[in-house]
Amino acid sequence: VQLQASGGGLVQPGGSLRLSCATSGHTVSIYTMSIAWFRQAPGKEREFVAAVRSTSGSTYHADSVKGRFTISRDNAKNTVYLQMNSLKPDDTAVYYCAYRSYWSVAYYSSSQYATWGQGTLVTVSS
């Protein structure tokens, strides 16, 4: 399985961006995959942002982005999205999508994901 993250860029505070994580190299639908977004700001550790659970499609968001970011998936396009609204300078980071075959109760831990996309930079600045 390969992941391709895209959609990053420069946006003003209060603005919006939509990140995409396109999946390829698999014969099963992303319906069966658990996919998460993480981010890493300069000098900081990688942190969990959001995840969508395999099969059920249940979603989980970090407290820091709850109410502003929304993760979703399009099974037909084999793509997972991260809609980011009301962006703040603290949201500036490289955003990565990651995949695992089955759901993990520790979905918020980067160690649970074996496959990662290359990252896309989001800069929130005026």
The listed range with the strongest mean pLDDT (28-32, 64-68, 110-114) is 64-68
Residues whose CB falls within 8 Å of the CB of residue 56, separated by 6 or more in sequence, listed in order: none
Question: What does residue 75 show for φ and ψ, rounded to 5 degrees?
Answer: -60, -35
Q: What angle do CA 19, 22, 23 make, to 5 degrees?
A: 145
pLDDT, tens only, 12-22: 999 999 999 99
Answer yes or no: is pLDDT of 125 > 80: yes
pLDDT, tens only, 42-56: 999 999 999 999 888
Q: Are 107 and 40 contacting, i.e. CB atoms less than 8 angstroms apart?
A: no
